[in-house]
Amino acid sequence: MREHLQFYIGGKWVDPVTPKTLDVINPATEAVIGRISMGSAADVDKAVTAARAAFETFSRTKKEERLALLQDIAAQYQKRYADIAQIISEEMGAPIWLSRAAQAATGMGHLAKTIEILKDYEFEEKQGTTLIAREPVGVCGFITPWNWPVNQIMCKVAPALAAGCTIVLKPTEIAPLNAIILAEVFHEAGLPPGVFNLVNGDGPTVGAAISSHPGIDMVSFTGSTRAGIDVARNAAATVKRVTQELGGKSANILLDDVDIAASVAAGVKQCFMNSGQSCNAPTRMLVPASKMAEAKAAAKKAAAEITVGDPMKDGINIGPVVSKTQFDKIQGLIKKGIDEGATLVAGGPGRPAGIDKGYFVQPTVFADVKNDMTIAREEIFGPVLSILPYKDEDDAVRIANDTVYGLSGYVSSGSIDRARRVASRLRAGNVHVNGAPPDFAAPFGGYKQSGNGREWGKFGFEEFLEVKAIIGYGA
């Protein structure tokens, strides 16, 4: 069992102010695999003090110095790559192939993209006799989730470091061990003391202390919309910058000129990836009403081909969901779908056949779903797909936009022009056309209750910069 009972503050591993521990659970086995300390507001104070002191010098470093640090971080990350992938699978349940190919890979992806951006970025420009300068926003507080843990840490930390900011991180307490490894990576790469600090703990305690702390200039949060609202409220009194990447209920529109069987199968697979625990998962599949029967058959077949099991074994498509709390929530929503009259096409309540331990959920598909049903409104965050019928293109767009969320959208069509036209009508921050994969250079973030601000690429990098005008600077 791994015990990590210290926090990383000021370049050292230090004891918590008040001892209090939490077990880390493997969701596939329900066994305790680690133990961490749970921090307090006093620990956050210590971390902020270290970050503020470090900001005085780190904010003045040259671009070339920060480039060298990021390149050293990338080298150390590569050395620990296998460890990172392994621990992610153990503590949050992603199949080991997914941890290697995507979960751990996204950390390197964000590092590489940030290095590329920083190399060519101009922090100053002349506008007549005025100098427009872009400067680091300050001390940044980061609160990150368990579903793509390294992805969400690195897409914040890498651009913040590139900008010259210093950091206080509270990773998820549910899957915190990967963040411990990242702290070791940053230490070995030679980050100056206080530039990066880590305090474990829960949202109501450490998260609230970070978001409300007057010594933190910006807070970036990824998680549920409910928790994001709390973060914004806590931050309001100090008027700090707040960026939020929150929930989603993304529509996947299959237009009437696609191969329904192939498009449905692809949509099922994408929805169930990472056990459905992705904020941008295409959880509402919209199909022409006239093709609902064909869609049901294709979805049932695709769901039957999804193999659920031990994430450390070969041939497994999805592992467990992350915790008993999540398992129970998903089970309740599956029951709600049945009670409200949706057609259960595949899966349903309970664990998959032959599995009697772990937080495993049956890959579940509902059809004939109405957009006012609970399963079409609430973010389930599990391997549960809702298939909704639509009358025509306008109706599909109306249904897709009829949600409080606006993170992602998906459009498939035999005509690229038609797909582009529909994509332009969706009220979402990211729209994927004809199965296009993610783009690390593209801004990631949402409309409406899916949050504000952007991550990834140049747009994400510039969230960590303030703009200063020095008027009368001269020719």
Contact call for residues 229 and 262 (beta carbons, < 8 A):
no
* Type of residue at 52: R
CA distance 88 to 176: 9
**Six-digit token string for 104:** 């751990």
Q: Is 352 exposed, middle or buried, given 0-12, 13-18 or 19+ CB atoms closer than 10 A?
A: middle
List, in sequence order, the alpha helices (H) in 273-315: 292-304
Q: How far is CA 263 from CA 209, 266, 344, 387, 436, in A?
A: 46, 5, 20, 13, 13
CA distance 8 to 15: 9
CA distance 102 to 151: 9
> CB atoms < 10 A from the CB of 58, how many?
22
Q: Which residues are CB-neighbours of 215 under 8 A, at least 6 positions away?
A: 48, 49, 51, 52, 139
Secondary structure letter of residue 21 according to DSSP: E
The residues with which 43 forms a beta bridge, in sequence order, are none
Which residue among the candidates 90, 91, 173, 245 is catalytic per the annotation?
Answer: 245
Q: How far is CA 226 from CA 174, 221, 223, in A?
A: 18, 12, 8
Contact call for residues 395 and 364 (beta carbons, < 8 A):
no
CA distance 253 to 62: 47
CA distance 115 to 215: 28
CA distance 388 to 305: 22
Beta strands in 210-259 (DSSP E): 218-222, 241-245, 251-254
**Six-digit token string for 236:** 């309001």
CA distance 325 to 316: 23
Choose among 207, 212, 360, 155: nearest CA to 272: 360
Contact call for residues 233 and 244 (beta carbons, < 8 A):
no
Q: Identify whether 466 is a catalytic site residue.
A: no
For residue 203, how far is the Cα from the chain centroid?
A: 16
Q: Identify whether 245 is a catalytic site residue.
A: yes
Which residue among the candidates 155, 279, 379, 455 is catalytic per the annotation?
Answer: 279
List, by residue number, the catalytic residues: 245, 279
